[in-house]
Amino acid sequence: MKQAGRWLSSAVGLLTGLYAAGLVLFVGWQLWLPREVSLLALAAAFMPFLFAPLLASLPLAWIARARGSLALHGVALGLFLTLYGGRLIAPTLRTSAPQAHEQPATVLTYNLRYEFHAPEELADALLAHPVDLLAVQELAPSAEAYLARALGERYPHQSSDAWRSDVALYTRHPIRDHEWRTLAHKPGGALLATVAMPGGDWRVIVVHPYSPRPVRLLGMPLPLGVSYRDLDHDLAELLDEQLALGLPVLLLGDLNASEQSLAYRVARMRLSDAYTRAGWGLGLTFPQGWSVRGRPIPFALVRIDYVMYSQPLRATRARVLCGDVSDHCALLAELTMTR
């Protein structure tokens, strides 16, 4: 009996240790190695959920008194706290409200799900949250004219051309200039605009590159990985160019890349992420409202919608807003700039 117990403890220690070791190696690869491997990129998009088995494996390793496994679990927990620990602390403890010498502004980014809902429903959803800058993605030509009219009173300054690009910008403040750019092989994947904000001009970039290309093996129906189509290279070049102008830079939109992607990492090397600075929770935004065989998925699974900014901007608030008009949740953020 004792022999069987020792065998069971050894087996539990081995299995839990293998899981923890694999998790540590995988996360380490994603965090610190500069290359992106398609077969790993898909799993990385769901990284928060890869830590979930720790809830079971750690107690099992403790019961089995598997010291090696426990040590690996400690490293894995440290990585989880490094990645997500800050977002589990109340935002009020990590950031301060706008000060008297700062000019606050609110921004919202929302992917509208192309041609899926009536323009009237989209307008109601967009008007439900008054902001200074509103960025949308997947704007369809069939909805463009209606939204221009419906949003015109609140957002008199608009940049949209749904036949050229599915990204658009609506603001309360004048748009001095704008242009569309190709991003990661998608014509019109980025809208660049100079907006005359109360504290000075901002360079605003609204992005929506193509979805990552699935990588399949031998015609399998489910992808084994994804390719981000040179998004990291194009995004780095675009941000370097815009930052060189010397104005505050604001990046909004559906990046179609998780926060473990190389594209996100090159953006974070240059900009701050409003949600990681001033939000609470994982910030998952996609997909929402989906069902699998008639059973609804109760929450979003990946974070691909972002608000990012350069100095001297500062995030004071950020939250995810989920509704009924899209398969994306919207992202709302409050930013400030010294007057």
Q: What is the CATH number of domain 96-338?
A: 3.60.10.10
Closest CA to 261 of 167, 318, 184: 184
CA distance 83 to 299: 20
C-alpha separations of 222 from 42, 209, 257, 303, 304 in Å: 11, 22, 18, 21, 20
Q: Where are the domains of the chain?
A: 2-87, 96-338
Q: Give pLDDT, residue 328.
A: 94
115 contacts 142 by C-beta, under 8 angstroms: yes
CA distance 68 to 197: 56
Helix ranges (DSSP H) in the chain: 2-32, 38-45, 47-50, 54-63, 67-84, 91-94, 119-127, 141-152, 231-243, 262-268, 274-278
DSSP 241-306: HHHTTTS-EEEEEE-SS-TTSHHHHHHHTTSEEHHHHH--S----B--S-EETTEEP-S--B--EE
| Predicted model pTM | 0.92
Closest CA to 137 of 324, 279, 326: 326
Q: Is 27 helix (H, G, I), strand (E, B) or coil?
A: helix
Q: Is 36 helix (H, G, I), strand (E, B) or coil?
A: coil
215 contacts 227 by C-beta, under 8 angstroms: yes
Q: Give pLDDT, residue 226.
A: 78
CA distance 317 to 324: 23
At 223, list the tokens.
């992808």
Using left for φ > 0, alpha for ψ between -120 and 50, and beta otherwise, residue 253 falls in left
Query: What residues does 73 pair with on adjacent strands?
Result: none
Q: Give pLDDT, residue 96.
A: 85
> Average pLDDT per run of 10 along the chain, which is 339 residues long?
70 89 89 74 89 93 88 94 91 85 93 85 94 97 95 97 95 97 93 95 97 74 73 96 98 95 94 97 89 77 97 96 91 89
Per-residue exposure over 214-239, b if at least 16 CB sit within 10 Å of its own CB, e if not: eeeeeeeeebebbebbebbebbbebb
CA atoms 217, 218, 219, 220: torsion sign: negative
Q: Give pLDDT, residue 11.
A: 85
CA distance 17 to 2: 22
Q: Give pLDDT, residue 2.
A: 63
